Chain A
Amino acid sequence: MTLTIGIDVGSSAIKFALMEIVSGEEKLIGVRTGRIRRRDPKSVIVETFEHLLEESEVSKDDLDYIATTGDGELCEFRTGHFYGMTTHARGALFLNKDANAALDIGALHARAISFDPRGKVLGYRMTSQCASGSGQFLENIVRYLGIALDEVGELSQKADNPEIVSSICAVLAETDVINMVSRGISAPNILKGIHLSMAGRFAKLLRSSGSSGLVMATGGLARDAGLIAATREEIARQGLGLEFVTHEHSPCAGAIGAAIWGAFRYEKLRQREIAGV
C-alpha cells in the first residue's frame, strides 16, 4: 500500500488530497481546502495539512510521498513537485476514467489540456496574462454586485435575458458591469453574461488544444454550476461536439493528480533502490 498526499498551492486556495494506492487501485481518502484570505500561504499549508491528517487519522510518518503542484516551493516539506498540467490531467482521469481532456479554471488563468489514456499531456492552450478568463475576475465582479461567490452559480442559471459583456478585457468588462448595474440589469442576467463571456474563451481554448470526447472541468471554478452550464451552451453553440462534465472533487483535481503521480514516483524510486541503480 502506498499512502500519498497531493498539495495544489493556488493563488487563492490550497487544495489537499490524501490517496491510498493498493495494487494499482487508487482510492481517495480525503480532501481539504485551505483559503488563503490574505494569510501567509505557508501557514495555511501547514494548518490545513495537519487538519487533513488528523481527520483521516494518518500520521505524517505514514506518508510515502508528499507531492506538490502549483506554487509548490511554498511547501517546504514536500518530497517532489509536478507541473500543473501534468497533475490536472491525471486528476481529471481519476475523476472520470473516460476523460480525454481537462479544462482547468483557476483563480489566475484557464487552460485546456488534452491527454492520452495514461494521463500523458498531449497538448494544451491557456489564457494569456489577461485576467478576464479567470476566477479572480469573477470574484471581483461579484464583489461589486455584493453577492457571495457560492450564490453565483444558482443566480446565473435564473437569468432570462443575459447581458453579454462587450469586451474581453477585465478592466473594461468591470466598467461594463458598473454600467449594467446603473441601467438596472438584474444580477442573474449580469452574471450569466459574464459566464457566457468566459465560456466563449474556454470554448476557443478547447478547440485550439485539440480536445475531444469527454472534457472534465478542474480547478476552483469547476464548482460554479452557472459557469459549467454556460460553457456547455458555448460548446454546443460552437459545435465542438464535446461532453463537458464536472465532479464534486474537481476543484481538488490538481491535488489528486499530484498525489497519484507521487505514488507513481515513490514506486519507481523504490524499484530503483531494490535494483541498486
Chain B
Amino acid sequence: MEHACDCERGASGDSSCADSGSEVSEIVRRCEELYDDLDLGYVKKWKEEHRSKAIGFLPIYVPRELIHAAGMLPVGIMGAGDSLEIIRGDAYYQSYICHLPRSVIELGLSGRLDCIDGFLFPSICDVIRNLSGMWMSLFGGKYVKYLDLPQNLAPALGGKFYRHELTRIRADFERISGREITDDRLRKSIRTYNQNSRLVRDLFRIRSETPELAPASEVHLLMRAGNVLSVEDHSSLLMEYISATMKTKRKKMDNARIVLHGAFCEQPPLGLLRSLENAGCDIVDDDLVLVNRWIKDPVSTSGDPMDALVDAYLHHSVANASKYIADDEKGRELIETCRSKRVEGVIFAAPSFCDPSLLELPMLQDALDRAGIEHTNFRYSEDMGQFHSIREQAGTFADSIKLWS
C-alpha cells in the first residue's frame, strides 16, 4: 500500500502542496466561523450592502431560486447545534419532540433571527408544521408561510397544486421585496443555482472517489456555509475549496466506505461527524443539508421557469422520508448510491424523536438486508456532547466491514 504523503495538511516538503494545505485550512476556518455565528453576521452585512431582505427557510427543501429572483437572500435555518443553551425553547415542546424546533424557537426569542424578514416552513413533519404556527403567534409582524410540498407527484394533481403554491409565494416575495420576479429573472436565478448544484455534485464526486481529499466534516461545513452565504459567494467558495484540495496530497487511509443516512433535518454536531471519521469511516455520501442536492439534475432554463421548478420537484428530486413514494421501491435509491459509490456499509443516524427518519428506518433496513449491504444505526441530537458510545459503535462497525465482511 502506498503511503502518499506524511502530511494531512500538505506538509510534505512540496511547497505547492503545503500552500494548498493551508488554503484548505483557511477555507475550513472561514466555514467554521459561519457555522458558529448564530447571530448571522454575514446576513446582516449582506442586507446592508444590498439594501435588501432575507428569507429564512427550514429543512429540507424550498425553491431558493424564487427568493433569489426577488433579489433577496435565502437563509437556511438548521437549529443552533450544540452551542446554544435552550432556556425558553423547551417550554414550547414536549420532551418527546426532537431538538431542532426548541433551538429555532430559542434563536427567535433571543433576537438572533431578527435580521430575517420572512420564513418558509416546508412540509416535512408535524413538528415543523406546528413550528410555523408558533412562529405566526410569536412573530406576528413577519411573513410566515407553511409551504405545502406535494406528496402526489402526478403532474395533473400534485404538479398543478405545487405550481399554485409557487405562484402564491412568488407574489408574496414580489410584495416583500418590492421587485417583480420576471420570467427572465427567474431563469437567471435557476441558472445560478444550477451552477451551484453542479459544483456541489463535483465536490460529492471528489469525496466519493478520494474521500481523503474531501472529508465529511469539511464537506459538511461547506454545505452549511451554503445555508448562509449568497449562492454566488457559496459557488466561489466551492470552486476555491475544490481547486485547493485537489492540489493537496492528503494521505489515503484504509477506512470503511460508508453512507450516513437519516440526518436530513436536525443536523448532527460536527464533533459527531469527526468521531465517525476517527473511528475508521470514510463517509462517502450523506443526506445532511439536502437543500442544494434535493434536485438531482439541472433545472431547465428554457420554457416557463415555474413549470421547470415544478418538473424538477416532481421528477428529479431525491428519495427522502418526507416524500411519498408511490410506485417506486423504498430504499432503491439508497441501494443504487451504495453500489455506484462502492459503499461497504450504511450508518443510519436519526435525530431522537424524528418521526420521518425513524419510521422509514425499518423499511430501509429490510431493503439493505435484501441487497446484502451491512448497516447499523444510532440516535443523536444536535446538542449532544459525548460521542464515546457512538464512536465505539462506528469503530466496531468499521472493523466488522474491514475484517469480516
Q: Are A64 and B396 in contact (CB under 8 A)?
A: no
Q: Are B396 and A264 in contact (CB under 8 A)?
A: no
Q: Kindly supply a per-residue 1/0 record for chain A positions 55-85, scoring 1 wherever the CB is within 8 Å of any chain B CB and 0 otherwise.
A: 0000010001110000011001111111111
Chain B residues, CB < 8 A from A261: 399, 403
CB within 8 A of A81: which of B1, B8, B253, B403?
B253
A157 located at the interface, meaning its Cβ lies under 8 Å from any Cβ of chain B in the complex: no
A269 located at the interface, meaning its Cβ lies under 8 Å from any Cβ of chain B in the complex: yes
Q: Kindly supply a per-residue 1/0 record for chain A positions 117-151, scoring 1 wherever the CB is within 8 Å of any chain B CB and 0 otherwise.
A: 00011000000000000000000000000000000
Measured CB to CB, the nearest residue on chain B to A73 is B278
A245-264 interface with B by 8 A CB criterion: 261, 264
Q: How far is the CB of A123 from chain B (nearest CB, A)?
A: 12
B360-394 interface with A by 8 A CB criterion: 392
Chain B residues, CB < 8 A from A79: 1, 3, 253-254
A209 located at the interface, meaning its Cβ lies under 8 Å from any Cβ of chain B in the complex: no
Q: Are B404 and A120 in contact (CB under 8 A)?
A: yes
Q: Are A82 and B399 in contact (CB under 8 A)?
A: yes
Measured CB to CB, the nearest residue on chain B to A277 is B342
Chain B residues, CB < 8 A from A201: none
Chain A residues, CB < 8 A from B3: 60, 66, 77, 79
B280 located at the interface, meaning its Cβ lies under 8 Å from any Cβ of chain A in the complex: yes
Q: Kindly supply a per-residue 1/0 record for chain B positions 1-33, scoring 1 wherever the CB is within 8 Å of any chain A CB and 0 otherwise.
A: 101001110000000000000000000000000
B1, B278, B396 — most chain A CB neighbours (10 Å): B1
Q: Kindly supply a per-residue 1/0 record for chain B positions 231-269, scoring 1 wherever the CB is within 8 Å of any chain A CB and 0 otherwise.
A: 000000000000000000001011100000000000000
Q: Are A83 and B254 in contact (CB under 8 A)?
A: no
Chain B residues, CB < 8 A from A32: none
Chain A residues, CB < 8 A from B1: 64-65, 79, 266, 269-270
Query: Known contacts A80-B255, A86-B396; is A265 also within 8 Å of B402 by CB?
Result: yes
Q: Kindly supply a per-residue 1/0 record for chain B positions 274-299, scoring 1 wherever the CB is within 8 Å of any chain A CB and 0 otherwise.
A: 00001110000000000000000000
Q: How far is the CB of B248 from chain A (nearest CB, A)?
A: 13
B122 located at the interface, meaning its Cβ lies under 8 Å from any Cβ of chain A in the complex: no
Q: How far is the CA of A83 from the CA of B254 in the complex (A)?
A: 13
Chain A residues, CB < 8 A from B8: 76
Measured CB to CB, the nearest residue on chain B to A84 is B395
Q: Kindly supply a per-residue 1/0 record for chain A positions 20-56, scoring 1 wherever the CB is within 8 Å of any chain B CB and 0 otherwise.
A: 0000000000000000000000000000000000000
Chain A residues, CB < 8 A from B254: 65, 79-80, 265, 269
Query: How many cross-chain pairs have Cβ atoms below 8 Å apart between A and B?
Result: 62
Q: How far is the CA of A54 from the CA of B247 in the complex (A)?
A: 33
CB within 8 A of B280: which of A76, A80, A121, A264?
A80
Chain B residues, CB < 8 A from A120: 403-404
Query: Known contacts A64-B1, A82-B280, A269-B1; is A77 also within 8 Å of B399 by CB?
Result: no
Measured CB to CB, the nearest residue on chain A to B7 is A76
Q: Kindly supply a per-residue 1/0 record for chain B positions 100-123, scoring 1 wherever the CB is within 8 Å of any chain A CB and 0 otherwise.
A: 000000000000000000000000
CB within 8 A of B403: which of A60, A66, A78, A264?
A264
B398 located at the interface, meaning its Cβ lies under 8 Å from any Cβ of chain A in the complex: yes
Q: How far is the CB of A191 from chain B (nearest CB, A)?
A: 30
Query: Known contacts A83-B280, A264-B403, A266-B1; is A77 also within 8 Å of B398 by CB?
Result: no
Chain A residues, CB < 8 A from B404: 120
Q: Are B279 and A81 in contact (CB under 8 A)?
A: yes
Q: Are A78 and B396 in contact (CB under 8 A)?
A: no
Q: How far is the CB of B391 from chain A (nearest CB, A)?
A: 9
Q: How far is the CB of B254 from chain A (nearest CB, A)?
A: 3
Q: How far is the CA of A65 from the CA of B255 in the complex (A)?
A: 13
Q: Are B396 and A121 in contact (CB under 8 A)?
A: yes
Measured CB to CB, the nearest residue on chain A to B342 is A277
Chain A residues, CB < 8 A from B280: 72, 80-83
Q: How far is the CA of A83 from the CA of B3 in the complex (A)?
A: 21
Q: How far is the CB of B344 from chain A (nearest CB, A)?
A: 12
Residues of B within 8 A of A (CB): 1, 3, 6-8, 251, 253-255, 278-280, 392, 395-396, 398-399, 402-404
**Nearest 6 interchain pairs by C-beta:** A80-B254, A83-B395, A73-B278, A81-B280, A86-B399, A83-B399
Name 17 extra pairs, CB < 8 A, besides A81-B398, A82-B402, A86-B399: A72-B278, A72-B280, A76-B7, A77-B6, A77-B251, A80-B253, A80-B402, A81-B395, A82-B395, A83-B279, A83-B395, A83-B396, A120-B403, A261-B403, A266-B1, A269-B1, A270-B1
Residues of A within 8 A of B (CB): 60, 64-66, 72-73, 76-86, 120-121, 261, 264-266, 269-270
28 A–B contact pairs at CB < 8 A? A60-B3, A64-B1, A65-B254, A66-B3, A72-B278, A76-B7, A76-B251, A77-B6, A79-B254, A80-B253, A81-B255, A81-B398, A82-B395, A82-B399, A82-B402, A82-B403, A83-B279, A83-B395, A83-B396, A84-B395, A85-B396, A86-B396, A120-B403, A261-B399, A264-B403, A265-B403, A269-B1, A270-B1
